[in-house]
Amino acid sequence: MATIASALQAVKLQMAAIGKRPVQLLAVSKTWPAGAIREAYAAGQTAFGESYVQEAIAKMRELSDLDLEWHFIGPVQSNKTKIIAEHFDWVHGVDREKIAQRLSEARPENMPPLQVCIQVNVSGETSKSGIAPAKLPDLAKYVSSLKGLKLRGLMAIPEPSEDRTLQRQRFAELRRLKDNLPEYNLDTLSMGMSNDFESAILEGATLVRIGSAIFGSRNKR
Ligand SMILES: *Cc1c(COP(=O)(O)O)cnc(C)c1O
């Protein structure tokens, strides 16, 4: 069994081998204990992604001695917007006006704006999360008008596929959607997970969200 430090190093080498452009690595630590995060931190990782609010907040408390950046990557339920706005640095799954408005209103004034990505449902996704591409321009306009939020970019979770051509098509679609919104100076394309991050980087990902390739398979826990 590889250590977290060696798995992290292997992922970084794979990422670097793809291209010269720097790509941010978000370590997805959902379901893994605080100790695993501490191990990754000791190996130089500072940004972590979590999908379950209560679990994440328990870990934040345990790890409050470390300077970590916390990204919420799960679906945002409206009854969780306040606690998310109070604890996280980033939210990747904003896909509705109401959620954006609630996050903005709940963001404490003494904190910097919450950094957000709009989640888009790219072609072939069966998931209910993510806004339809046709509605993206209106939501982007709305999100960028909110005081408590800073619109940074777009995020997608395409249906898993082993077909690299298909993987790349879907990531390319998200990139084109971002390129069609030049007025917001978006700097983030959050796309790519353990099984498809190479395709995502080839299509312009600036941030990849990687869990099992670093921490191990969640199913085998
Ligand atoms: C769990 C999760 C990931 C990480 O998935 P792996 O396949 O373990 O790399 C990335 N993004 C989101 C939104 C997730 O929920």
How confident is the model over 165-217, as pLDDT tens digits? Answer: 999 999 999 999 999 999 999 999 999 999 999 999 999 999 999 999 999 99
pLDDT at 127 over 90: no
Residue with tokens 């001695």: 65
Ligand 1 atom 4 nearest Cα = 211
Pull the structure tokens for residue 28.
């997805």
Examine residue 146 and state whether it is found in any structural domain, yes or no. Answer: yes
Q: Please check whether residue 191 lies inside any domain of the structure.
A: yes
Assigned domain for 220 exists: no
* Ligand 1, residues at Cβ distance < 6 Å: 28, 30, 51, 73, 157, 193-195, 209-213
* Contact between 52 and 25 (Cβ < 8 Å): no
Asked if residue 55 is part of any domain, the answer here is: yes
Cβ-contact 5, 37 below 8 angstroms: no
Give the domain range for residue 125.
4-215
CATH of the domain at 124: 3.20.20.10
Read off the pLDDT of residues 23-66 as tens digits, 9 standing for 90 and up: 999 999 999 999 999 999 999 999 999 999 999 999 999 999 99
Q: Two tokens at 112?
A: 């910097």
Atom of ligand 1 nearest to the CA of 155: 13
Question: Which pLDDT band, with edges at 50, 70 and 90, does 125 fall under?
Answer: confident
Ligand 1 centroid–CA 26 distance in Å is 10
Rounded Cα–Cα distance for residues 22 and 201 (Å) = 10
Residue carrying the six token digits 């940074």: 152
Ligand 1 mean position, distance from CA 30 (Å) = 8
Residue 12 in domain = yes
Count of the separate structural domains present in the chain = 1
Number of helices (H), then strands (E), in the chain: 9, 8
Ligand 1 centre distance from Cα of residue 25 (Å): 12
Given the CA of residue 26, which atom of ligand 1 is nearest to it? 10
**Which residues, including other chains, have CB under 8 Å from residue 118's CB and lie 6 or more apart?**
94, 95, 131, 136, 139, 140, 143, 151, 153, 154, 155
Mutate to test the pocket of ligand 1, among 209, 212, 214 (most ligand atoms within 8 A of CB): 209
95 inside domain: yes
Q: Which of 28, 128, 196, 214 to mutate to test the pocket of ligand 1 (most atoms within 8 A of CB)?
A: 28
> Is 19 within a domain?
yes
Q: pLDDT band for 123, please (50, 70, 90 cuts).
A: confident
In a domain, 221, yes or no: no
